[in-house]
Amino acid sequence: MPLPRLFHVSEDPGIARFEPRPSPSTDAGVIGVAVWALTEAHLPNYLLPRDCPRICFRACERTTDEDRARFLGGADHVVAFEAEWLERVRTARLAIYEMPSETFVEAHIEAGYWISREAVEPVRMMILDDALRALADAGSEVRVLQDFWPLCDAVAGSSLRFSIIRKRNALPRRS
């Protein structure tokens, strides 16, 4: 089976070599240091500024018809983030690095995470100046939220496949 195309998204366009570092989150279950990459199918989840809290979701084999109708409507994939971040998303300049897959191993299948325990030099890098257009081109529906938490809680309790990224950066829950 051929290895997948792997990517790393950064706001730094000058990375010539990725050195292994500790995981930014314990949720992935990776111990020790690693270089992180993700599959092309999961790339839309990362086409936002790094610290932007977001809720990304899609249907999977266990998704109920009710959850499909409630959360997706006609969308295949949704990326939702706080209105507070909209201007930063609009003006974000992201570097998308394609990584050589040879030293990577799958770390978390549902999240699309792959890791390398060795330093990695990217194969190529491209600049993305319009994250909203890139998300639309990838078939993702973008939703801008006034309050992050109701959708976050509802999606986490649903039958959808989801990823909630940087939720620690969301505005506090409303009383």
For the chain, what percentages of helix, strand and coil (3-state, to nearest 5) are there? 25, 35, 40
pLDDT (tens digit, 0 to 9) for every residue of the chain, 175 residues total?
688 999 999 999 999 999 999 987 666 678 899 999 999 999 999 999 999 999 999 999 999 999 999 999 999 999 999 999 999 999 999 999 999 999 999 998 888 899 999 999 999 999 999 999 999 999 999 999 999 999 999 999 999 999 999 999 999 998 7
b vs e for 4-41, b when ≥16 Cβ sit within 10 Å of the residue's Cβ? bebbbbbeeeeeeebeeeebeeeeeebeeebbbbbbee
Q: Output the pLDDT for position 91.
A: 97
Per-domain residue ranges of the chain: 6-169
Q: Cα separation of 38 and 147, whole Å? A: 28
Using CB atoms within 10 Å of the CB of residue 74, give its burial: 0 to 12 exposed, 13 to 18 middle, 19+ buried. Answer: exposed
